[in-house]
């Protein structure tokens, strides 16, 4: 991740930009998240959802704080310097913590055993993983549209970059609580019901972003959305933890993360595409009306 960020400060064309972000995602952040969540959930037999939610809450904190810091760095030092500062920050902070992670005894014994761990879930592990992956594509398409386009949406409306990034920061920081409580809710009522509740919440809240103009209401909406979409992320990880055995957990979380990021990328693209299409159609009919 640090190497990709540093090289991004030097990129000079769009091809390099895409390639370096692919490197950052495919061989950076993805190799951090999936093994971590697969491991932490099996350290605890009681309240594994809460454990996963607590681990995932760190990601929400970073997603809220880092974009705000980036916005300030870009405004004061430019985008190239911002990439350089971030690359060193990741290296200094993330790498030492990696050496503190230990494999859970349950996962380690399951990995070395020739026998499968007993399960009480009604469908096979492969079927469970397929359904989880199918579900996570669509929930991530939904959540990624405001995550990717919220800051441009607000700056296009005339709000400052500082205000726009602060709204996103509110969503992500409230997401800390959402990820923790989403995981805990999975322990209390079951992983799948918790996922359904959080997913319904984020879907309803997404619809309001284009229509809200008040800064105060934007903060409130962002906070509610951040809570719901973060609860989706932790509860879907709890689903993968509860529906598969310890031996297959790493692959289950990896597949879930892969299709989740696929949905995030697809949603971000579709949000921009449909906005451009809408504007094109609007101006086309406007010019036709003026010419008529």
What pLDDT, on the 0 to 100 scale, is given for residue 289?
A: 65
Q: What is the pLDDT of residue 204?
A: 92
Can you give the pLDDT at residue 93?
85
Angle at which helices 125-156 and 191-206 pack, to 10 degrees? 20
Domains of the chain: 2-102+125-287 (1.20.1250)
Q: 79: part of which helix (H) or strand (E)?
A: helix 79-98
pLDDT of the residue at 221: 93
Cβ contacts of 227 within 8 Å, gap of 6 or more: 174, 175, 177, 178, 181, 201
Q: What is the pLDDT of residues 149-192, one digit of tens each?
A: 888 888 888 888 888 888 988 888 888 899 899 889 988 998 88
DSSP state string for 97-160: HHTT----HHHHHHHH-SSPPP---SS-HHHHHHHHHHHHHHHHHHHHHHHHHHHHHHHHTT--
- Among the listed residues 163, 151, 144, 168, the one whose alpha carbon sits nearest the alpha carbon of residue 268: 144
Measured CA to CA in angstroms, residue 195 lies from 28, 178, 187, 256 at distances of 27, 12, 12, 14
- Supply 229's token pair: 């979409």
Question: Which tokens in the block code for residue 107?
Answer: 């996962």
Lowest mean pLDDT among 23-32, 55-64, 216-225: 23-32
Q: Is 190 helix (H, G, I), strand (E, B) or coil?
A: coil
| Residue 247: both structure tokens together | 């031996």
Taking the whole predicted model, whether its pTM rises above 0.85 is answered as no
pLDDT tens profile 200-259: 999 999 989 888 889 999 999 999 999 999 899 888 888 888 888 877 777 888 888 888
C-alpha R_g of the chain:
21
Residue 75: band (very low, low, confident or very high) from pLDDT cuts 50, 70, 90: confident
Q: Which residue in the block uniquely carries the two structure tokens 């055993």?
A: 113
Per the rule left: phi > 0, alpha: psi between -120 and 50, beta: everything else, 190 is: left
pLDDT at 202: 92
Give percent of the chain with pLDDT exceeding 90: 12
Share of the chain above pLDDT 70, in %: 93
pLDDT at 115: 65
Share of the chain residues as helix, strand and coil, in percent rounded to the nearest 5? 85, 0, 15
């Amino acid at each position: 991740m640090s190497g990709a960020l540093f090289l991004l400060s030097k990129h000079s064309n769009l091809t390099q930009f895409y390639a370096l972000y692919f490197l950052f995602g495919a061989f950076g952040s993805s190799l951090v998240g999936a093994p971590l969540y697969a491991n932490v959930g099996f350290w605890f037999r009681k309240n594994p959802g809460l454990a996963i939610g607590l681990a995932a809450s760190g990601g929400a904190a970073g997603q809220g704080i880092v974009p705000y810091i980036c916005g300030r760095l870009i405004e004061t030092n430019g985008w190239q310097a911002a990439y350089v500062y971030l690359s060193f920050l990741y290296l200094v902070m993330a790498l030492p913590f990696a050496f503190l992670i230990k494999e859970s005894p349950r996962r380690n014994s399951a990995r070395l055993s020739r026998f499968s761990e007993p399960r009480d879930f009604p469908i096979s592990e492969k079927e469970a993983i397929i359904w989880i992956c199918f579900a996570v594509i669509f929930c991530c398409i939904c959540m990624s549209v405001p995550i990717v386009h919220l800051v441009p949406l607000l700056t296009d409306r005339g709000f400052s970059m500082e205000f726009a990034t602060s709204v996103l920061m509110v969503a992500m920081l409230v997401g800390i609580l959402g990820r923790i409580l989403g995981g805990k809710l999975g322990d209390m009522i079951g992983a799948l019901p918790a996922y359904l509740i959080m997913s319904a919440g984020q879907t309803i809240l997404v619809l309001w972003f284009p229509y809200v103009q008040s800064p105060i209401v934007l903060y409130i909406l962002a906070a509610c959305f951040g809570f719901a979409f973060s609860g989706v992320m932790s509860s879907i990880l709890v689903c993968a933890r509860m529906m598969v055995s310890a031996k297959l957990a790493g692959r289950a979380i990896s597949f879930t993360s892969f299709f989740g990021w696929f949905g995030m990328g697809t949603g971000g693209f579709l949000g921009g595409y449909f906005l451009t299409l809408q504007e094109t159609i609007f101006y086309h009919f406007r010019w036709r009306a003026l010419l008529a």
